[in-house]
Amino acid sequence: MTAKAILIVDDDELRCELLAELLEDEGYEVRIANDGEAGLADVAHNPTDLILLDIIMPRIDGVRFLQALPQKLDNPPPVIVISGSVDSVGGRSLEELGVARTVRKPIDPADLIEQIGALLQDRAGG
Amino acid sequence: MAKDTQYLLPAAIAAVLATCLQLLGAFQIADGLIFDRLSVRPTDAYPEVVIVENAEATSAADLAQASFVLGAQNVVFLSDPEGDFSALPPRYLARTKLGYLVPASASGNFSIEMAVPAKVPGHPERLPRAAPMAEYGIHRALPTGIRFDARRLGMLETSVADVRPASDKYYIPMPRNLSFAVLTSEQIMTGNLAEGDLAGMTVLVATPAELRSNRVTTPLSPDTAAVPPAQFSAYAMQALLTNTSSTKFSLTVAAALIFATAILCGLGLIFTRRRIHSFFLSGAFIVGIMVSGWIVLETAGRILPFGGMLSALILSAFGTVALQGRRKDLRLERALVPAIEQTVSHTAFRNRDTLPDLFTATAATAGIAKMLLLRPRKRARPDVLASIEAGISDLDESAFYELFRNFDGSPSIMSADAGDVLPDWPGNVRLRTIGSRHEPFLWLYTFGDHPEAEGGEFIAGSIAQSFLALQISHASLSAQQRGLRAVDPVDFRVVNAIELIARHGRQLRKAVDQLHSAVMVFDVVGFPLHANPQMIDLLEAADLNPQTVLMSQVIESLTELTDGQAEALLRDVLREGGEASATVHGIPGLNATLRIASPDPAVSARENVVVFEVFDTTELARLSDLRRAVSEFVDVQMRNDLETIALGAALARKSDGNEGRRLRMIDRIVQATQTATSRLDSMNALARNVPVANEFTAHPIQLAPIAEKVRAQLVDLAASYEVEIELNLPGVSGYSVGDPFVLSKMLEALLRLVIADSPPESKISVSLVEEAARSRINVTGGFGMARERLKQAFAAPPRNEIPEFEIIKESALVITGWGADFTYESETGRGYNFELTLRRIV
């Protein structure tokens, strides 16, 4: 069975490193992009099953990323937003922007792994 | 000058009055006393007269001859010795005179009261002699002559001196140091004296009685009759012989002098502007009169009409000064009253006609359920000036007229029970008589029967008192305006005006003292009493007239409160006193609060005003924004750091004997902890700086909201230039280092510059790009200008014309302190490109 590919889009390199190690321990294939622009480029060229997205980032922030993602891919992967306080942008909720789930910072590693698993299982089942 | 001649009227009146008094002799005492003071002064002249006491045994002729032998010029017998002078040589006979006392004549015609002795050949000439003339008890004059059968007979003294004074009587100086030698006839006859001892002297021969009895009071001894007739006659002869006798001016000349004095004094005072100068000038005139009187007396032997002149002077001075004062008052009144009325007319006076409406509005706001404001009329139904839920038909007319019969017109703010007059009204119906005595009003009202009605009496009292004060002030101040005679003096009206304008100045000052606040003061009746310029600007911006606006309108216009909410808020403040506040809305770029304050009417019945104050809370809002930004930043960053720590801990826990991984995770946790600690330290320092309002210290801020806010502020301006502002911002802004206030002002100034230099239908772009370590704001668009010219404008901003250059220059200096940078490009026809680069917090 091929490992599920997860793309982490976050400008905090240390957090990305730890998150990637956590997910790799769970058997996922993890890639990292440190801003929205790099993330869009990565997802356009590599098959991706799930995206973990931070909102506040340089160059292209998380919201712009969400807006641009459907334009890059016909069938974009689900996105889990890891956010501290952002629930909506410009009067639109994150769900309306295509976000599958939102995880509040600071994340509980076990809870994150559980949500990722559940989401991927839903996608596989759906 | 033509008007100034009116000031001579008091002088002329004073002159006429003083002349009349002079003619009536009212100043004889005064004139006499002044003359006495001058005439008793010491003299350098030697006596020209020697008195000889004649013993009965001595022959008059022998005495005369002996005197002539000793050198006497004249020998004068004060009374006829009835001796034989036939042996006297003719040359001595001619120089020997005999006096005879004329009786006092009430009529002045001596023809019927005496007989003139016939002239006897070989006998000395007989001449009449008058007793000293008294003026109010003081003897100081002798007649020049007497009328006798249409003739005028010269008197003994004038004949001896061969002098004819210019008046009917002459005044005799009596210097204190002048004394006449008194010899006895024996001394003359026995040869005790040498020839020549009496050279040039006039020998006045008197009987012992004439030397010792019938003494009179003189200026030398005004309280004691000390001068005998012989001595008095000697003084007279001395004065005539030495030409020092004096006479008074004729009445015509005296009147002319009095007139001249009065007019000169009047003229002098007309041109004297200050009261103190008038005082000194009058003093100078008095001294001048005294000095000139002395000079005239000494040089010409004439006595000035001192009393008349001084009286004319004093009356003229007082009259002229009084007239000047009165005319000054009139001028002041003419100038001041319109000024007062114009000043006051901006508030209470102009609104006087709308008083009933204001009264009604305030009464309703205060919670009065029903009311009637009536103007009573004799033998007629009263006029209804204002009402709330009531009409004239509510009145029980018989009870009302009964009440009115007992009404004496005196205004009073005390209320009385009026339940009988309005039996159908609910609650406690009260009556207050307000208005002025000349224009009384009756105010009938009730607060209804709800539970809080009782508490309304205090505010009703305040309204009544305020209404009464306004009415009294108006009645006083507007009398002239309405063509009526001003009954109050101008100073009273000025005081009234000042009281009206400055009433409740304490609250006014307290309110105005608030920095940058806009203040308006209403009388509790609802009159706008005063609004400061800031408040006038605010009201006019809201299309409200500061002179006629109602209190509730101010609240409704400046806040988001509804009509009902505004009324309720106002009612609470009016009835309970204290303060209420509401957020001001609709003023772009300004965070402000409207505060409404009024003293508790139950405690402070006289201070019945309501103060409205709008104060700027922009600075408070800015500080609040900064605090929020700091806390949000801390929140976001701490969540990230805690998340890193949590991840590291979870991975360390899962190491399962992999010591290298465990240590690496611990190292990551330590790294995250240090980062978090470092952030907390820096935020702590920033948070401490936040309350320092005027130091634009850098803080973690989000730039996108700032750009959105500035755009919102300038949308209308851009629309007026037919220009569109396009924003190109991140969906969510990260944190950069700066001060939102400075950046807002700078961005606004940049946009204003570009808008003003943009062709219609063009677009201006504001973009924000956040990179790893820098955030860039670019403002592009407009027509543009040569870069050098733009550089010059920033280097030396044109003052008072385009403030934006100055704002940008100062802001650019401030932002460099945050590690930020401001650059620009510009080319004529190709537009501007302003770029702000700030540090971004990673």
Percentage, residues of chain B above pLDDT 90: 12
Model pLDDT, residue B510: 44
Q: Is the ipTM of this complex over 0.85?
A: yes
> Which chain B residue is nearest to residue A15, measuring alpha carbons?
B644
The answer to whether residue B615 sits within a structural domain is no
In sequence order, the 6+-apart residues with CB closer than 8 A to the CB of B498 are none
Tens digits of residue pLDDT in A93-111 = 777 778 888 888 888 888 8
The verdict on residue B662 lying in a domain is yes
Same domain for B205 and B68, yes or no, is yes
Q: Are residues B659 and B703 in the same domain?
A: no
Distance CA B104, CA B114 (A): 10
Q: Are residues B257 and B238 in the same domain?
A: no
Taking the C-alpha atoms of residue B34 and residue B573, their distance in angstroms, rounded to an integer, is 78
Cα of A78 to nearest chain B Cα, Å: 20
Which pLDDT belongs to residue B511?
A: 41
State the pLDDT at residue B486: 46
Indicate if B779 and B812 belong to the same structural domain.
yes
Residue B90: exposure state from Cβ atoms within 10 A (0-12, 13-18, ≥19): exposed
- The residue that leads in pLDDT, B809 or B111, is B809
pLDDT of B454: 65
Residue B348 within any structural domain of the chain: no
B38 within domain boundaries: no
Lowest-confidence segment of B452-456, B592-596, B675-679 by average pLDDT: B452-456
Instruction: Report CB contact under 8 Å: B643, A15.
Output: yes
Contact A61 B734 (CB under 8 A): yes
What is the rounded CA–CA span in Å between residue B762 and residue B765? 10
Per-residue model confidence as pLDDT tens digits over B409-427:
565 657 788 888 888 888 8
- Nearest-neighbour CA in chain B from A121: distance (Å): 23
Extract the tokens encoding B743. Answer: 């950046």
Beta strand segments in B690-799, E:
699-701, 724-728, 736-738, 763-770, 774-781
Same structural domain, B476 and B426: yes
Res. B497 pLDDT band, cuts 50 70 90:
low
Q: Which long-range contacts (CB under 8 A, 24 or more apart) does B109-116 make?
A: B109/B147, B109/B148, B110/B146, B110/B147, B110/B148, B111/B147, B111/B148, B111/B149, B114/B148, B116/B148, B116/B153
In a domain? residue B796: yes
**One domain for residues B237 and B296:** no
**What is the reported pLDDT for B835?**
94
Which chain A residue lies closest to B731 (C-alpha atoms)?
A63
pLDDT single digits (tens) B215-257: 889 988 888 888 898 999 999 999 998 888 888 888 889 999 9
Average model confidence (pLDDT) across chain B: 80
Q: Is the pLDDT of residue B755 over 70?
A: yes
Domain presence at residue B352: no
Q: What is the pTM of this model?
A: 0.43
Residues B822 and B772 in one domain: yes
Distances (CA, A) of B70 to A88, B180, B205, B207, B651: 149, 17, 15, 21, 164
Question: Which residue among B553, B579, B608 closes a domain?
Answer: B608
In this predicted structure, the answer to whether residue B432 has a pLDDT above a threshold of 50 is yes
Measure in Å the smallest separation between the Cα of A66 and chain B Cα atoms.
10
Contact criterion met (CB < 8 Å) for B640 and A84: yes
Domains of chain A: which residue ranges?
Answer: 5-125
Distance (Å, whole) CA B557 – CA B566: 10
CA A47 vs CA A6, A40, B497: distances in Å = 9, 12, 89
CB-based contact, A59 to chain B, within 8 Å: yes
Q: Residue B405 — pLDDT band, cuts 50, 70, 90? A: low
CATH of the domain at B454: 3.30.450
Q: Radius of gyration of chain A from Cα atoms?
A: 13
> Chain B contacts of A106, Cβ < 8 Å?
639-640, 642-643, 645-646
Q: Which two tokens stand for residue B217?
A: 């009071």
**C-alpha B34, offset from chain centre:** 44
Residue B350 has pLDDT above 90, yes or no: no
**Which pLDDT score, from 0 to 100, does residue B86 have?**
83
Point out the residues of chain A with pLDDT beneath 70: 1, 85-92, 126
B636 and B595, same domain (yes or no): no
Shared domain check, B484 and B407: yes
Using 50, 70 and 90 to split pLDDT, how confident is the model at B514? very low
Number of domains in chain B: 6
| Alpha carbons B566 and B80: distance in angstroms, whole number | 119
Q: Which of residues 719-738 of B touch A (CB under 8 A)?
A: 730-735
Give the pLDDT band (50/70/90) at residue B8.
confident
* Highest mean pLDDT out of B318-332, B546-560, B625-639, B792-806: B546-560
Residue A86 to residue B642, Cβ atoms within 8 A: no
* Domain containing residue B188: 44-243
Superfamily for the A5-125 domain: Response regulator (3.40.50.2300)
Judge whether B277 is closer than 8 Å to chain A, CB to CB.
no
- Given CB atoms, is A122 within the 8 Å cutoff of chain B? no
Do B232 and B320 reside in the same domain of the chain? no
* Residue B837 predicted with pLDDT over 90: yes
Q: How far is B769 from chain A (nearest CA, A)?
A: 6
**Residues B421 and B550 placed together within one structural domain of the fold:** no
Q: What percent of chain B has pLDDT over 70?
A: 81
Which pLDDT score, from 0 to 100, does residue B619 have? 67
Is residue B379 included in any domain, yes or no? yes
